[in-house]
Amino acid sequence: MTTIISYNINGIRAALKKGLAEWMKETDPSILCVQETKAHPEQVSDRHVFESMGYHQYWHSAEKKGYSGVAIFTKEKPDQIIEGCGNPLYDSEGRIIRADYGDWTLLNCYFPSGTSGDVRQDFKMGFLDFFQNWINELKKERPNLIIVGDYNIAHTEIDIHDPVRNKKNSGFLPEEREWMTKWFESGFTDAYRHLNPEKVEYSWWSYRAQARARNKGWRIDYQSVSDTLKDKLQDSFQMNQAVHSDHCPVYVKIAL
């Protein structure tokens, strides 16, 4: 049984100061995928704590320091690690890292946000188009995919605390939600929603207006599994008690 946790930690150095390593030791996932490391590995003096817990670690950082970045911490050594997707536009921002294990592949992704304005929203929509086409090609070579991370989109009304007021906000725009619908129609299953069709849980809360305390959140962190793997799903939930970030971790257990 493989347990995979995806977690936008909003800065690994800050998260480590808030007890990330202790939480990880207690939780003991097979694989932890983190987004928004906001650091190059050499900037993280206590990164060796992960090795002491039995994890191999692989990083793909943005060229710009203190920005974006993804990392995989895994107990089983992958057959292959590939940093990026081959597109310098996105690889310079450290958004995707791939690990191959036997006949299945894990992708840890940090999708762009469009909240800062039109330029980044256009960048986000460009990324979504590219990503779908890139995955369509990758599936021909590696059909058993698990694609985890911060997608920066709440898919349906059940995934956001106030769908009416947010319908014109980046992250819940009709075109973004339509992309997600097509994404899940293209051969992927939303692990959490598959196992919890009507449950209301969120994975991100604004730091403003006590949003987390009032549970005014969004579910924007996903674990998409190829439809070929969906019958192997055992459990999935949001780990709301973990408070190292403005996101919470998302957990999946799968019989691989």
pLDDT at 75: 98
**Tokens standing for 201?**
């849980």
The CATH number linked to 137 is: 3.60.10.10
Quote the domain boundaries for residue 103: 2-254
Using alpha carbons, list the distances in angstroms from residue 232 to 12, 226, 229, 256. 31, 11, 5, 7
pLDDT at 112: 98
pLDDT at 218: 98
Contact indicator for 149, 112 with CB cutoff of 8 Å: no
- pTM value? 0.97
pLDDT by 10s per residue, the chain, length 256: 999 999 999 999 999 999 999 999 999 999 999 999 999 999 999 899 999 999 999 999 999 999 999 999 999 999 999 999 999 999 999 999 999 999 999 999 999 999 999 999 999 999 999 999 999 999 999 999 999 999 999 999 999 999 999 999 999 999 999 999 999 999 999 999 999 999 999 999 999 999 999 999 999 999 999 999 999 999 999 999 999 999 999 999 999 9
CA dihedral 125, 128, 134, 138 (to 10 degrees): 180
Which residues belong to the active site? 150
Q: How many domains in the chain?
A: 1
pLDDT at 28: 98
pLDDT at 101: 98
E strand or H helix at 175: helix 174-185
pLDDT at 174: 98
Burial status of residue 111 (CB atoms within 10 A of its CB: 0-12, 13-18, 19 or more): buried
Rounded-to-integer distance, Cα 63 and Cα 150, Å: 19
Helical H runs in 58-173? Answer: 88-91, 118-141
Q: Which positions ≥6 away from 66 have C-beta within 8 Å? A: 38, 39
